[in-house]
């Protein structure tokens, strides 16, 4: 069986790679659990100084596995799975610098997880989108709080309400991405930046990250809860079901009946 999450550690750099290319790295509950474990391990081990998050060649991730969404939508009384919540918590409580390398699609949580990274580098091919409304859903992972503060309220509203795709250049202009790099050299350049960080004082790095994020940490935690509650409610509603069924049938959703 292929490993859907691959971790490796070298020269103080811990890499977490999403590896389900046949499904565009759509994230299952199991993948959330494995990534949460990876982040926790990276946080605890002194030898790890920096964490790199990436997908496979040409794809970051197409977001939450819609099959998982459908299963939850069709069984609303089932216990709410905690894997994504564990992942959210592991990401926001990571004390070490987190760098993302993005190629190809970064959809839904593929974009919102980047808002919690310390630096984001994108290949020219990267495409970002937050199509929650198109799926009868709403923003998750505290993004309703973080994105407007990063790009401005009107721009965040445009990204969330229209849910359209934006290019790597546009994401860089908005401040979601630090720098756009040719796809062929993206991973080499990101690893070089990670190794450069890994040679720096770990105490200095962690203190700086804590100071930058500390002022909003409590609000981010609350937003994750508030987003999550709204998201969970919509997820089991008829409009999301229509959108999930449309995705499975490879057709456009029809919201005109609601
Ligand atoms: N969940 C489950 N399966 C997914 C998926 C997802 N989020 N994204 C892609 N897949 C599957 C497709 O169903 C397809 O499976 P199949 O080969 O069994 O038919 C396979 O991955 C390849 O995807 P495909 O749509 O053929 O690739 P593409 O290059 O034409 O399009 C995307 C790529 C990412 C634009 C498109 O797959 C997509 O829109 N995915 C859904 C994104 C989304 O809405 N995510 C949730 C956000 S909350």
Q: What pLDDT score does 73 carry?
A: 85
Ligand 1 contact, 116 CB (< 6 A): no
Say what the pLDDT of residue 77 is: 79
Q: What integer pLDDT is reported at residue 258 of this predicted model?
A: 96
Tokens 């292929």 belong to residue: 2
Question: Rounded to whole angstroms, what are the CA distances from 110 to 114, 125, 131, 189, 231?
Answer: 7, 14, 11, 21, 16
Residue 173: per-residue pLDDT: 98
| pLDDT of 78 | 78
- Asked if residue 176 lies in contact with residue 128, where contact means CB atoms within 8 angstroms, the answer is yes
For atom 47 of ligand 1, the residue with the nearest CA is 108
Residue nearest to atom 21 of ligand 1 (CA): 23
Q: Please calculate the CA angle 162-139-24 and round it to the nearest 5 degrees.
A: 80
Distance 23 CA to ligand 1 centre (A): 6
Which residues lie below 8 Å from residue 138, measured CB to CB, with a gap of 6+? 132, 144, 227, 230, 231, 234
pLDDT digits (tens), the chain, 258 positions: 689 999 999 999 999 999 999 999 999 999 999 999 999 999 999 999 999 999 999 999 999 999 999 998 888 777 777 899 999 999 999 999 999 999 999 999 999 999 999 999 999 999 999 999 999 999 999 999 999 999 999 999 999 999 999 999 999 999 999 999 999 999 999 999 999 999 999 999 999 999 999 999 999 999 999 999 999 999 999 999 999 999 999 999 999 999
Overall pTM > 0.85: yes
pLDDT at 176: 98
Question: Distance (Å, rounded) from C-alpha 101 to C-alpha 154?
Answer: 27
CA–CA separation, 73 vs 246, rounded Å?
14
Ligand 1: does its nearest atom lie under 6 Å from the Cβ of 140?
no
Distance in Å, CA 63 to ligand 1 centroid? 9
Q: Is the CB of 141 under 6 A from ligand 1?
A: no
The residue contributing the CA closest to ligand 1 atom 41 is: 62
Measure the CA–CA gap between 9 and 162, rounded to whole angstroms: 39
For residue 84, what are the contacts with CB-CB under 8 A and spacing of at least 6?
29, 32, 64, 109
User: How far apart, in whole angstroms, are the C-alpha atoms of residue 201 and residue 69?
Assistant: 42
Q: What is the pLDDT of residue 75?
A: 84
Q: What percent of the chain has pLDDT over 90?
A: 94
DSSP string computed for 165-193 = -EEHHHHHHHTS-SEEE-HHHHHHHHHHH
Could you identify the atom of ligand 1 that is nearest to the CA of residue 67? Answer: 2
24 Cβ inside 6 Å of ligand 1: yes
Q: Report whether residue 55 contacts ligand 1, using a CB cutoff of 6 Å.
A: no
CATH of domain 5-184: 3.90.226.10
| H or E stretch at 10 | strand 5-10
Q: What three-state secondary structure class fits 9?
A: strand
Give CA–CA dist 181/168, Å, rounded: 9
Judge contact between 35 and 5, C-beta under 8 A.
Answer: yes
Domain ranges of the chain: 5-184
């Amino acid at each position: 069986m292929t490993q859907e999450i691959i971790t490796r550690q070298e020269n103080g750099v811990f890499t977490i790679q999403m590896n389900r290319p046949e499904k565009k790295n759509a994230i299952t509950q199991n993948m959330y659990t494995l990534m949460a474990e990876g982040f926790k391990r990276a946080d605890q081990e002194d030898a790890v100084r920096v964490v790199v998050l990436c997908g496979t060649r040409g794809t970051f991730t197409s977001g939450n596995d819609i099959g998982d969404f459908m299963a939850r939508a069709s069984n609303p009384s089932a216990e709410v799975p905690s894997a994504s919540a564990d992942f959210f918590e592991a990401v926001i409580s990571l004390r070490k610098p987190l760098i993302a390398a993005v190629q190809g699609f970064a959809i839904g949580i593929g974009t919102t997880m980047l808002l919690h990274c310390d630096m984001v580098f994108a290949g020219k091919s990267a495409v970002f989108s937050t199509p929650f409304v198109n799926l009868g859903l709403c923003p998750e992972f505290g993004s309703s709080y973080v994105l407007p503060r990063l790009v401005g309220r009107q721009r965040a509203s445009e990204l969330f309400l229209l849910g359209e795709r934006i290019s790597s250049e546009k994401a860089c202009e908005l401040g979601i991405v630090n720098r756009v790099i040719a796809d062929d050299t993206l991973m080499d350049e990101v690893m070089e930046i990670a190794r450069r960080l890994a040679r720096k004082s770990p105490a200095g790095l962690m203190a700086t990250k804590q100071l930058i994020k500390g002022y909003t940490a409590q609000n981010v935690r609350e937003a994750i809860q508030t987003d999550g509650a709204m998201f969970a409610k919509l997820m089991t509603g008829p409009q999301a079901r229509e959108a999930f069924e449309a995705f499975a049938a490879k057709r456009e959703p029809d919201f005109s009946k609601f």
